[in-house]
Structure 1
Amino acid sequence: MSYKLLILEDNTLLLQTLEDFLSEYAYACTLVKSGKEALEACFQNTFDLYLVDVKVPDMSGFEFLQALRHSGDRTPAIFITSLNDQESVAKGFLAGGDDYIKKPFDLHELLLRIKAILARTKGIVDDWLIIDNDYKLNLARKRLFKGTTELDLNLKDFELLYLLVKDRGHVVTKEMIHQHLWSSSEEINEGSIRVYINNLKKIFGKEAIVNIRGIGYRFEK
């Protein structure tokens, strides 16, 4: 599974190094060099995690994250900065940061921190995405389990369920579903989405997936 990261960093070499390294571990990276670019990217897309430098053009990384938090965005964020005094560390956490790593840093340490935050915020443990006490997704095998029993679920059902659970409590738009379930060369069938949704409702109950008319769906289990 590919998780989407926004990386705000004005050092071109470090930005490219982070993308090259993280892409090897299947993270899809969006790269921006200023606070304004970062805000625009966040308003146009959804991300699983933010990597934020503090000293960037337009606004500081602290101000960028505060703006998102004030708008209701709770996407986890890691500050990456050369500021290493206790006041700056405290400011980072008060701005809404989930972690703080000081430059220079080891790339593998950063990877461990990313995995730890995703495990905590999204229920991802190794290759598992925990849905609740009964259900979990095996991300490597693309299978749904109830306890230790594997349930019958086709690939499109799985991909849609993963998308809904990953953004649990938020509306997953039809456009997001189209992008996630179909390649650019495949024909999109609106009726198929309704079939997949109904397949999931048979497992989790009708109340688990809310239809936001004309916009998309929200998973509430």
Structure 2
Amino acid sequence: MKILLVEDDAVTRDYVESGLIGAGHLVDAAEEGVDGLTLASRGTYDAIILDRMLPGMDGLAVLKAVRAAGNTTPVLFLTAIGGVDDRVEGLEAGADDYLVKPFAFSELAARLTAILRRPAMMSEQTKLCVGDLEMDLVRRTVTRAGIQIDLLPKEFALLEYFMRSEGRVLSKTMLLEHVWDFNFDPRTSVVETHISRLRAKIDKPFETDLLHTIKNVGYTLRA
């Protein structure tokens, strides 16, 4: 899944982001409400994790703006504001769930799974397609020309990022930031290693290649 995390506390943000990435998800993170709203407006996300106490524009205002724009992406409030009236206010504004800090990551993950399981609340996009390559985001399966391809969690996350960015050239730095912890040493060969493994699974057994190297720039996935 691709998740937007809007949290101004660096410790909490890093904790949640690391947990989500470790679970194989793609994560975009923002510290301020306005930045979070901008990302939510420009990107396609499966879920949004939103703090209420944000600098510049509070989380409740962000949520109302997201819903006013017709965006139905599931939203989970993650906040220290835990009064009954506050929870009711958040849910009535359009939040799908409300988790009060302090919290366990396992509960956060379970709540995310629960809200995504609700048919009426799920993101409209459940499948990604590039040529004859298909990814089912609900079943977590990948096929090409009808043949199932087994991917490891990180390979799945890497391919999902490529498919969501079809035709765009993605640099090594962009891949490190979106698929791996951005603190990875840029000199690491982890990207090249995973690209090679991914090619062996989605390209090598087939007649045409989808994953292309743009010399000295990066990589792109296109039919």
TM-score range relative to shorter protein: 0.5 to 0.7
Aligned to 2:77: 79
Aligned to 2:102: 104
Q: What's the % identity of the aligned pairs? A: 25
Aligned to 1:211: none
Is 2:49 the partner of 1:41?
Answer: no
Change (3 A) 1:182 1:37: farther
Aligned to 1:218: none
Q: Which amino acid aligns with 2:39?
A: A
CA RMSD of aligned residues (A): 3.2
Aligned to 2:142: 142
SS of alignment partner, residue 177 of structure 1: coil
Q: Which amino acid aligns with 1:16?
A: D
The 1-side partners of 2:221 and 2:22 are apart by 30
Aligned to 1:210: none
Alignment length (residue pairs): 155
The 2-side partners of 1:100 and 1:27 are apart by 21
Deviations 1:65-84 (A, max 9, x none): 10010011110000011111
Q: Which amino acid aligns with 1:37?
A: D
Structure 2: runs of 5 or more not aligned? 128-134, 150-162, 171-209
Structure 1: runs of 5 or more not aligned? 124-128, 131-135, 145-151, 157-173, 193-221
Deviations 1:9-44 (A, max 9, x none): 110011001111111111111110111111111222
Shift >3 Å, 4+ stretches: 136-141, 174-177, 179-189
8 Å CA contact 2:41, 2:66 repeated in 1: no
Instruction: Choose between structure 1 and 2 for higher RCO, CA contacts under 8 A separated by at least 6 residues.
Output: 2
Aligned to 1:177: 166
8 Å CA contact 1:54, 1:80 repeated in 2: yes
The 2-side partners of 1:188 and 1:82 are apart by 41
SS of alignment partner, residue 105 of structure 1: coil
The 2-side partners of 1:183 and 1:83 are apart by 48
Deviations 1:65-104 (A, max 9, x none): 1001001111000001111111100110111000000000
The 2-side partners of 1:184 and 1:47 are apart by 27
Change (3 A) 1:184 1:11: farther
The 2-side partners of 1:183 and 1:114 are apart by 34
After superposition, residues 26-37 of structure 1 pair within 5 angstroms as 26-37=24-35
Deviations 1:149-175 (A, max 9, x none): xxx52579xxxxxxxxxxxxxxxxx98
The 2-side partners of 1:111 and 1:175 are apart by 22
Change (3 A) 1:142 1:79: same
The 2-side partners of 1:45 and 1:184 are apart by 25
Q: Which amino acid aligns with 1:142?
A: V
After superposition, residues 117-136 of structure 1 pair within 5 angstroms as 117-120=115-118, 121-122=121-122
Change (3 A) 1:183 1:54: farther
The 2-side partners of 1:142 and 1:175 are apart by 14
The 1-side partners of 2:221 and 2:82 are apart by 50
